[in-house]
Amino acid sequence: MGFFYRFVANSMTLNFITPEAGKLTPYSAVLVFSIGLFISNFLWNTFFMYKPVDGNKSTYAGFVQNGTLKLHLIGLAGGLIFNIGFLFSLIASDKAGPAISYGLGQGSTMIGAAWGIFVFKEFKGAPPSISRYLAIMFITFIIGLGLIIAAKL
């Protein structure tokens, strides 16, 4: 995400009311980005189905047959949630600027980590040193977000 955000931000105008000719608004940028994701998934999915990093080869027929409707809907919901968050991040870049908007959007990483640790108990039974590392991760991440916010002030 850190790679493509710059290109999407450069393709947009920060004047969302009367955009410059040839520039995208946040809504059109997310639409074009979504179309690109959809098309590129056929390339990347095909590659990793036949050359998996781990496990056995797969096919599209296996993907459809082995996945339940619920799992496919969860995947679609994840993409929808990502795109809504991405859209809000692009809209916020009008007031905060692209760099700060992107940085604040990365707070979602912290939400995901908190769910994994506190809700799903992913580190239950881990050695005590892991708890210290997780605490350091939370503290440094929050300090980093605070510094990003302070950079705008």
Q: What is the pTM of this model?
A: 0.72
Determine the residue type at 106: Q
What are 79's two structure tokens?
A: 């993409």
100 C-beta neighbours (distance < 10 Å), count: 16
Burial class (CB in 10 A: 0-12, 13-18, 19+), 37: middle
Render each residue's pLDDT in the chain as its tens digit; 153 residues.
667 777 888 888 877 788 889 999 889 999 998 999 889 989 998 999 999 999 899 888 888 888 889 998 998 999 899 899 889 888 888 788 777 887 777 788 888 899 999 999 999 999 999 999 999 999 999 898 888 778 766
Closest by alpha carbon to 97, among 4, 3, 2, 12? 12
Going by C-alpha positions, the residue among 87, 146, 139 that lies closest to residue 113 is 139
Specify the 3-state DSSP secondary structure of 24. Answer: strand
Burial class of 24 by CB neighbour count within 10 A (0 to 12, 13 to 18, 19+): buried
Backbone angles phi, psi at 19, to 5 degrees: -65, 150
Q: Single out the residue of 71, 77, 3 nearest to residue 33, CA to CA.
A: 3
